[in-house]
Structure 1
Amino acid sequence: MGVKVAHLRRARNMTQEELGKRLNLSAQAISKWENGDSLPDLSLIADLAAIFDCTTDYLLGRRLNDKADLVMRLLAIIHQTVRKMGTLNITMGLRRKYLLR
């Protein structure tokens, strides 16, 4: 899970400190997750999914199917690109629309 958190955080140009602030945690706590020294508390999984605009299943390593995994990767790329442009907000509804097909 730590590798996914690190990847998703970096894809959004977010520092460990910024992620920690959004979760009311220290940058050191985020670093421990990313290094595999600890795991996030279960109560934070939904918050992480919302911050990273992904599913809790994805964070926890559950692969729904290849199509869903591809959609998640594409949405992460779109989110990163759009964030840089600052012109569009990708919503959970869009992701759900394509994951349920």
Structure 2
Amino acid sequence: MRIRELRQELGMTQEELGRKINQTKSNVSKYETGTLEPNIQTLNLLSDIFDVSIDYLVGKSNIKKQDACIGAEMHELMNNLGNLSEESKKELEKYVQLLNMKDQLDKSKEEQSSVLEKEA
């Protein structure tokens, strides 16, 4: 879970976050350490407060928030993939490669940050 990181980015205390999600400071601490998992309602609240997707919040994705428009455009693009020109297909392939490289870089940064936190 990325709750601690996101909470600290907003300069919020555990107590402040607890008030916003109707939980105790103790529960927020447990969420941050992984000794307690928030229910879906709490995850939805946290997602709204931090303006990130639940997948990002729980560490399943490195994409903070997927724009609904992008999702709809991707869906339409996938449906029409066969109609793309060869040039467009090559451009799309380059874009996907760049996204993969960005995800790998983000993951590497997170791993380095995690190692530094453990050493501190």
- Same-fold status (TM-score > 0.5): yes
- Which residue of structure 2 lines up, in the alignment, with residue 40 of structure 1? 38
* TM-score normalised per structure 1: 0.61
Looking at structure 1, the residues matched to 29 and 9 of structure 2 have their Cα atoms a distance apart, in angstroms, of 16
Match of 2:18 among 14, 17, 20: 20
What CA RMSD, in Å, does the superposition of the two structures yield over aligned residues? Answer: 2.2
* Corresponding position: 1:96 with 2:67: yes
- Which residue of structure 2 lines up, in the alignment, with residue 79 of structure 1? none
How far has the Cα of 1:7 moved from its partner?
Answer: 0.2
Amino acid at match of 1:42: I
For residues 13 and 33 of structure 1, do their structure 2 counterparts lie closer, same or farther at Cα, with a shift above 3 Å needed?
Answer: same
Looking at structure 2, the residues matched to 8 and 96 of structure 1 have their Cα atoms a distance apart, in angstroms, of 19
* Corresponding position: 1:8 with 2:6: yes
- Which residue of structure 1 lines up, in the alignment, with residue 101 of structure 2? none
List per-residue Cα deviations over 1:56-100 (Å, max 9, x = no partner): 12113222xxxx63xx3xxxxxxxxxxxxxxxxxxx8xx616854
Between Structure 1 and Structure 2, how many residues are aligned? Answer: 72
Please identify runs of 4+ aligned residues in structure 1 that moved more than 4 A. Answer: none
For residues 28 and 99 of structure 1, do their structure 2 counterparts lie closer, same or farther at Cα, with a shift above 3 Å needed?
Answer: farther
Task: Please say which structure displays the higher CA radius of gyration.
Answer: 2
Which structure 1 segments of 5+ residues have no match?
73-91
* TM-score normalised per structure 2: 0.52
Looking at structure 1, the residues matched to 32 and 59 of structure 2 have their Cα atoms a distance apart, in angstroms, of 15
Looking at structure 2, the residues matched to 97 and 29 of structure 1 have their Cα atoms a distance apart, in angstroms, of 31
Amino acid at match of 1:54: V
